[in-house]
Amino acid sequence: MVFNWFRRQFDTSGSTSKSPEKSADTKPSEDQQAEPQPAESEQSTAKAPTQTNSADEYLQWAKTAYQNLQTQQKPEPDEVEPPPTPEPELEPTTALNPPPEAEATGVEAVTEAETWADPEIGSLVSQDSPELTSSYVPEVSEPMADVSETESSLRQIPTPETEVRDPEDAPEAPETAGEASDVGEVTTPAAAAPLPIWAQSQADRQARIERLKETAQEEPEPVGPAAAVAIAQESAIAFDEMFMWSAEVLANQGRRPEDVAIEEITWLQKLWRGLGRTRRSLLNQLKAIVGQGPLNQEAVEEIESLLLQADVGIEATETIISALQEKIRAEVLPPEQAIAYLKQLLRELLERPYENGYSPAFAPEKETLNIWLITGVNGAGKTTTIGKIGHIARKSDYNCLIAAADTFRAAAVEQVKVWGQRSGVDVIANPGKNTDPAAVVFDAIEAAKARNTELLLVDTAGRLQNKKNLMEELSKVRRVIDKKAPDAIVESLLVLDATLGQNGLRQAEVFAEAAQLSGVVLTKLDGTAKGGVALAIVQQLGLPIRFIGVGESIEDLRPFSSYEFIEALLSG
């Protein structure tokens, strides 16, 4: 049973039904559902509680989900010992308690973009890394044997493997097969290699985890139960307050406990930790303001400056504040209700693009060629995002391919190949230097058609001399797509670095003009207290956020959910 991450549901049929969304050019009708629909299920053992339900009902939902997850993860008897099964012992009152404010484990360092003085794209565009001087050598770093298993080690121990910016540092890997020489060079992910020593640092791990690793090494890309077991073992999901919080977040979205995947729980926990810096700077003060009593004019003004500090932006802040003021004129808002109302306002703002023609669901359509152009300035996290989306696509059972069309820098091609290896997705690249990106896209579309690819991810150049060049290049790529794949569903996603806060918005505006954008990927939310910029982006660009990144490892990016984002931002 495959969990389709784009649709947030298990795909039991092996082939997902046709999706309702359309390309950015043909926007969907307004009568589409505002929330992704849960999968059809034959039996439902616990209803999703409404938000006014009691702690007992949440607890029951969580217990059922926990039991279901254990059943889902149950390995074959000869595969691996079952994970520990702690007895649910939480008191019903804990169900509504937010998780304890733990230290965020995310990367703390804020990326300092080097200055590139382009007057149009702004001064925060990072400079190129040095070009590779040698002619093309397909060096790739050692592929990860099992990403889900090594992920936590990756996040804790900075190693060359976590840093893909300089491919020259990457250890040499066996040369990979290029099968279609007439359609550019194809880099096929190599077979899995044993886990590196650093990934096995916890020497006192129980023997069953070691056995699991060995199993995973034999099976380079565990999907289905084996992958789930790996995740369950590594993440050691416990029935604790964090689980209760995750369960409540899922239940409040109308999810049924039997339709939840363990990876959703691990993701929600990552999201909550990743947004730690923004939440800490926002929530404590917010609580102090609303804790003084019913919301009044003075408190609303204090909230206004809080939002501005979190980089929510003037326009979005004004919208939120005027709604709050209207509300307090109409009724008395006690503290808890004030936070609940604020959450609702923020969510509505993030969902506004859905009222303007964008589909709330964002999934590649099965058995169709979907082409996603990934744009953004260097350093925003473009390459990483391509690798992470490729990984999600593979896990969700889509045929995926990457086109290395950022030919402006040779290093960019090398980097995307490294991420192709990591995610197990083939990369189409042109080995020549300074090749035409449109030619790479042409080759990649040919290859995609020949292979029945469902999702083609196109890396594009982020740094061109000026807006005109950027526009010309992206238009040329679009023309090739329109000609070569007229039936493809095309999306154009802008990758934005959240640590740049409001400064990133200027870049975004330039790209919005150049690239017919249909959505935003917001990265590095873990490294900043400026997570509020998500609201500014939506308000100012009118674009939906489609993915968010909260860390450097391959599992640290997922499709965006406004509900989950706001809950993770304002719970604690």
Ligand X SMILES: Nc1nc2c(ncn2[C@@H]2O[C@H](COP(=O)(O)OP(=O)(O)OP(=O)(O)O)[C@@H](O)[C@H]2O)c(=O)[nH]1
Task: Compute CA distances 321 → 283, 296, 312, whole Å.
Answer: 17, 12, 12
- Distance between CA atoms of residues 348 and 336, nearest Å: 19
Residue 273: CB minimum distance to ligand X, A: 12
- By beta-carbon proximity to ligand X, the closer residue of 256 and 270 is 270
384, 421, 430, 492: residue in contact with ligand X (rule CB under 6 A): 384
Q: How many residues in the shown chain lie near ligand X by CB under 6 A?
A: 24
- Distance between CA atoms of residues 226 and 149, nearest Å: 11
- Distance between CA atoms of residues 438 and 233, nearest Å: 44
What single string gives the DSSP state of each residue in 406-425?
A: -TT-HHHHHHHHHHHHHHT-
Site string for ligand X, 439-468 (x = CB under 6 A): -----------------------x------
107, 312, 402, 440: residue in contact with ligand X (rule CB under 6 A): 107
- Distance between CA atoms of residues 521 and 531, nearest Å: 13
Residue 269: CB minimum distance to ligand X, A: 16
Is 562 a binder of ligand X (CB under 6 A)?
no
Task: Compute CA distances 484 → 275, 370, 442, 480, whole Å.
Answer: 41, 13, 7, 6
Site string for ligand X, 148-177 (x = CB under 6 A): ---------------x-x------------
Among positions 504-523, residues that touch ligand X (CB under 6 A) are 523
Is 383 a binder of ligand X (CB under 6 A)?
yes
**Terminal Cα distance for the chain, rounded:** 34
Closest CA to 62 of 273, 274, 237: 237
Here the tokens at position 567 are: 């809950």
Site string for ligand X, 57-86 (x = CB under 6 A): ------------------------------
Q: Which residue has the tokens 């795909």?
A: 11
- By beta-carbon proximity to ligand X, the closer residue of 396 and 553 is 553
Residue 402: CB minimum distance to ligand X, A: 12
Residue 165: CB minimum distance to ligand X, A: 5
- Which residues on neighbouring strands pair with residue 400, listed in sequence order? 455
304, 552, 555, 567: residue in contact with ligand X (rule CB under 6 A): 552
19, 150, 153, 415: residue in contact with ligand X (rule CB under 6 A): 415
Here the tokens at position 126 are: 């990072």
- By beta-carbon proximity to ligand X, the closer residue of 158 and 174 is 158
- By beta-carbon proximity to ligand X, the closer residue of 107 and 212 is 107
527, 531, 544, 559: residue in contact with ligand X (rule CB under 6 A): 527
Is 27 a binder of ligand X (CB under 6 A)?
no
- Distance between CA atoms of residues 248 and 48, nearest Å: 9
Question: How many other C-beta atoms can be found within 10 angstroms of the C-beta atom of residue 188?
Answer: 15
Of 63-71, 211-219, 447-455, 545-553: span binding ligand X (CB under 6 A): 545-553
- By beta-carbon proximity to ligand X, the closer residue of 61 and 419 is 419
Residue 383: CB minimum distance to ligand X, A: 3
Residue 183: CB minimum distance to ligand X, A: 24
- By beta-carbon proximity to ligand X, the closer residue of 166 and 214 is 166
Here the tokens at position 358 are: 């964008």
* Phi, psi angles (nearest 5°) of residue 75: -80, 165
- Distance between CA atoms of residues 441 and 539, nearest Å: 32
Among positions 342-381, residues that touch ligand X (CB under 6 A) are 376, 378-381
Residue 504: CB minimum distance to ligand X, A: 12
| Residue 490, phi-psi category: left (phi > 0), alpha (psi -120 to 50), beta (remainder) | beta
β-strands 455-460, 370-375 pairing: parallel
- By beta-carbon proximity to ligand X, the closer residue of 104 and 566 is 104
How far is residue 171 CA from its own chain's centroid? 27
437, 551, 559, 572: residue in contact with ligand X (rule CB under 6 A): 551
CB-nearest residue to ligand X: 549
Is 524 a binder of ligand X (CB under 6 A)?
yes
Question: Which H, E and C letters describe 52-112, residue by residue?
Answer: CCCHHHHHHHHHHHHHHHHHHHCCCCCCCCCCCCCCCCCCHHHHHCCCCCCCCCCCCCCCC
Is 550 a binder of ligand X (CB under 6 A)?
yes
For 402-429, b where at least 16 C-beta lie within 10 A, e where not — what string?
bbbbbbbbbbbbbbbbbbbbbbbbbbbb
**Run of H or E including 522:** strand 519-523
95, 310, 412, 418: residue in contact with ligand X (rule CB under 6 A): 412
Here the tokens at position 122 are: 């702004």
Here the tokens at position 72 are: 């889902």
Using a 10 angstrom Cβ sphere, with 0-12 exposed, 13-18 middle and 19 or more buried, the burial of residue 90 is: middle
Of 28-36, 45-53, 80-88, 544-552: span binding ligand X (CB under 6 A): 544-552
Residue 390: CB minimum distance to ligand X, A: 12
- By beta-carbon proximity to ligand X, the closer residue of 525 and 535 is 525
Is 549 a binder of ligand X (CB under 6 A)?
yes
- By beta-carbon proximity to ligand X, the closer residue of 381 and 504 is 381
556, 561, 562, 568: residue in contact with ligand X (rule CB under 6 A): 556
- By beta-carbon proximity to ligand X, the closer residue of 53 and 375 is 375
Positions touching ligand X (CB under 6 A) are 107, 111, 163, 165, 376, 378-384, 412, 415, 462, 523-524, 526-527, 549-552, 556
